[in-house]
Amino acid sequence: MGIEIKNFSYKYPLEDKNVLENLNLKIETGEFWAIVGKNGSGKTTFCNALRRFVPDFYKGEVTGKIVIDGKNLKDFNPKELVTKVGFVFQNPFTQISGVKDTVFEEIAYGLENLAVEKEKIIKRVNETLKLLEIEHLKDKNPQEMSGGQKQRVALASIIVMDPEILVIDEPTSQLDPKGTQDIFKIINIMAKKGKTIILVEHKLELIAEYAEKIVVLDEGKIILSGDKKEILNNRLLEEKGIGMPQYSKLAYELIKVGKAKFEEIPITKGKTV
Ligand code: ADP
């Protein structure tokens, strides 16, 4: 079980070149994969391919298939898919609905749409607030929060749906180091709970710390995939200009010998590539 991507190619409408080219990948249930690649290599398109109901996306040309737990993605209905795959985008501002006055209501929104009983909704929202350590934000207006708080609420609104798979596209590109650590703590909790995680992330130091496996995209093709250690040590990353910054490597050497703590590493701000 898990996700099987088989000979998957994708071309945007009116474009003449495939953006994703014959992708083959098997993601087992419970694995934590990071997607790495230069800007424009197809990472976001890859995430969207897993979304199925993204407006207009599937008007493009698709060949091959994506199979989730033995079922072709195109055969899922929206209700089924929402509890199967949850998506968190780069920009929390696009994820927050904008129609709810409190964080509590915002997180409850998706469950309301599924017509879950009120008592159950209250229970699940409270559990999620606790799990993500954001109980103190419960009565706040989502529009009046910091970027980091918004991103945590955006994550909460997906996690409350209890999807088996989380697809997370550069969740911290707009956040400072503290906000970044907070988000990764949450992602790590989800990984530990056995969720399958597919994460786009530029900051290899975070991938080195948290992910298990890495797939590297280059011009829409998979050029490397496999265990984190193997991939991070592969010279191709440097050659493609997406290797880990020198200072991060040094920091990791220090962590290994017990001379520094992960929390002390100055995480790269913004994009490192
Ligand atoms: P990444 O996330 O790695 O930066 P993207 O998936 O965003 O890469 O983009 C991959 C390629 O697809 C880029 O060349 C980009 O210009 C192109 N692209 C992205 N979105 C669209 C679109 N809606 N229509 C046409 N081309 C697109």
Higher pLDDT, 173 or 19: 19
CA dihedral 199, 202, 207, 208 (to 10 degrees): 160
The string of pLDDT tens digits covering residues 188-217 is 999 999 999 999 998 888 898 899 999 999
Least confident of 1-5, 153-157, 242-246: 242-246
In short, whether 60's Cβ falls inside 6 Å of ligand 1 is no
Ligand 1 mutation pick, 14, 36, 43, 45, max ligand atoms within 8 A of CB: 45
Whether the Cβ atoms of residue 12 and residue 59 lie closer than 8 Å to each other:
no
In short, whether 61's Cβ falls inside 6 Å of ligand 1 is no
What pLDDT score was predicted for residue 180?
Answer: 87
Tokens coding 222: 């998979």
Give the domains, in start order, of the chain with CATH numbers. 2-264 (3.40.50.300)
pLDDT surpasses 90 at 174: no
Q: Distances from the Cα of 129 to the Cαs of 27, 79, 179, in angstroms?
A: 29, 23, 17
Q: Which atom of ligand 1 is nearest to the CA of 46?
A: 6
pLDDT band of residue 14 (cuts 50, 70, 90) is confident
pTM: predicted TM-score of the whole model, two decimal places? 0.90
* For ligand 1, atom 20: residue with the closest CA: 45
In short, whether 15's Cβ falls inside 6 Å of ligand 1 is yes
pLDDT surpasses 90 at 98: no
Q: Ligand 1: distance of its center to the CA of 42 in Å?
A: 6
pLDDT surpasses 90 at 127: yes
Spatial CB neighbours of 63, under 8 Å, sequence gap ≥ 6: 7, 8, 9
The string of pLDDT tens digits covering residues 224-255 is 999 999 999 899 998 988 887 777 777 777 77
In short, whether 42's Cβ falls inside 6 Å of ligand 1 is yes
Tokens coding 14: 């009116």
Higher pLDDT, 101 or 260: 101
Q: What is the mean pLDDT of residues 26-31?
A: 98
In short, whether 43's Cβ falls inside 6 Å of ligand 1 is yes
pLDDT band of residue 66 (cuts 50, 70, 90) is very high
Q: Which atom of ligand 1 is nearest to the CA of 200?
A: 2
* For ligand 1, atom 13: residue with the closest CA: 40
In short, whether 19's Cβ falls inside 6 Å of ligand 1 is yes
Q: Ligand 1: distance of its center to the CA of 237 in Å?
A: 21
Q: How many CA atoms lie within 13 A of 101 on its CB side?
A: 0
What pLDDT score was predicted for residue 4?
Answer: 97
